[in-house]
A and B are shown apart, each in its own frame.
Chain A
Amino acid sequence: MPSVRAALILLLLAGAARAEEGLPSLTGEPGDPDRGRAIVLSRQRGLCLLCHAGPFPEERFQGDLGPSLAGAGARLSEGQLRLRLVDGRRLNPETIMPSYYRTEGLVRVGPAWQGRPILAAGEIEDVVAFLLTLRD
């Protein structure tokens, strides 16, 4: 019995370690930081500024539910950023940050949004490319 438990714990740790390494590209193509910037600033597509502030002095009404995006590209690697966008719950199951590339396990999604992730794979890559430019 104890050996089973030990094996389970090892498995869990391995999972967590792999999660912390981040995720590989969803498309195999480099994202476009300019398109990424437009998505992040858009209140209809990225929704990021509902919760985050960032180095965007021209934008009024930035949220403060999450940390500032300033310096995100210096703090986190490409794969780590992608993991937080795709499904941050793998790091923090209680996170309020929506999983931008997940369609399963959701409750009462409105008809207009059903079966679609919040952002498409290419859009996630664009946002990652933009976040990597936020160095300070």
Chain B
Amino acid sequence: MRRLLPLLLLLGAVAEARESGFALMSPETQAMQRDDDANPAMLWVEEGRALWESAGCSGCHGDVAGMRGVAARYPAFDAAGGGPVDLAGRIAQCQEARQHRMPFARESGEALALAALVGLQSRGMPISPPEDPRLAPALARGEALYRERRGQLDLSCGQCHDENAGRRLAGSPIPEAHPTGYPLYRLEWQGMGSLQRRLRNCMTGVRSEPYAYGAPEYVAIELFLMRRAAGMALETPAVRP
């Protein structure tokens, strides 16, 4: 029963309304995300638009509007790697394999700008994880990582985000951890960050050693979180406190 319980809770949560972290924000921060002129993340989107041309993405892909729906179905199976690749990883692959150039580093302004631009093309669309059986092992790994207690504080993701979502950790309401808005502008960072940056924050928060950017563990967790959030609307580029 103890093993079944999280699953039942999760199914329960899926059946009931799930809630984006957006719902927990102050009206001012919500307004900032709603208004493209006030949303600081749009600066990265604009940089992404310039890079789309100057870095040569448009040469193969044409107008970026053709990327509609793409961000909603990542991570996807990558035959070359034999496992899932996230959107940032796919962009880096294009640069490396097709353009024969050094990809922009993860979390660099350029990488975040391109991911934000591509993500924006799917804003409002439902998260639609691919039904690909080859993703099953990574999905299971992601769920196991989500449920594993870790760090000196010995807490799992699920203990905060399933069992205590909506309660207050000191001053902050704990969101349900849906990856709906990434990359996003976080007021505490005073900058843009990917989902992996967010996961690192939660890991160091429990005094656990984070993985290196791009690690398969993060991609597996993202795969699980996207499955858990299937059907929820993408908000990229979001704002968070």
Q: Which residues of A contact B (CB under 8 A)?
A: 43, 47, 49-51, 60-65, 94, 96, 98-99, 106-113, 116, 118
Contact = CB atoms under 8 A, between A and B. Distances in A.
B132 to A, nearest CB: 29
B37 interface: no
B155 A96 contact: yes
Given A64-B167, A98-B152, A108-B151, 6 more contacts: A49-B170, A61-B170, A96-B160, A106-B150, A110-B151, A110-B152
Given A96-B155, A109-B209, A65 B171 contact: no
Given A50-B170, A63-B168, A110-B204, A118 B209 contact: no
Nearest to A98: B153
A45 B168 CA distance: 19
B155 A61 contact: no
A95 B148 CA distance: 14
A33 B176 CA distance: 37
A111 B209 CA distance: 7
Interface of B: 2, 148-155, 159-160, 163-164, 167-171, 204, 207-209
29 contacts: A43-B170, A47-B153, A49-B170, A60-B171, A61-B168, A63-B169, A63-B170, A64-B167, A64-B168, A96-B159, A96-B164, A98-B154, A106-B150, A107-B151, A107-B154, A107-B208, A108-B150, A109-B152, A109-B208, A110-B151, A110-B152, A110-B204, A110-B207, A110-B208, A110-B209, A111-B209, A113-B151, A116-B152, A118-B153
Contacts of B159: 96
A118 B154 CA distance: 11
A107 B148 CA distance: 8
Contacts of A61: 168, 170-171
Query: Mostly helix, strand, loop or mixed at chain B's interface?
Result: loop
B169 A50 contact: yes
B201 to A, nearest CB: 13
Contacts of B164: 65, 96
Nearest to A43: B170
B63 to A, nearest CB: 44
A65 B149 contact: no
Contacts of B148: 107
Contacts of B149: 107
B150 A99 contact: no
A63 B167 contact: yes
A113 B152 contact: yes
A45 to B, nearest CB: 12
Nearest to B174: A65
Contacts of A51: 169
Given A96-B159, A111-B209, A113-B207, A106 B152 contact: yes
A118 B153 CA distance: 8
Given A96-B163, A98-B155, A118-B153, A108 B168 contact: no
B152 A62 contact: no
Contacts of B2: 94
Report the 3 A-B pairs with minimum CB-CB distance, sorted nearest first. Answer: A61-B171, A113-B152, A61-B170
A113 B204 CA distance: 11
B169 A109 contact: no
Given A96-B159, A113-B207, A106 B151 contact: yes
A60 B168 CA distance: 12
A53 B20 CA distance: 26
B79 to A, nearest CB: 30
B170 to A, nearest CB: 4
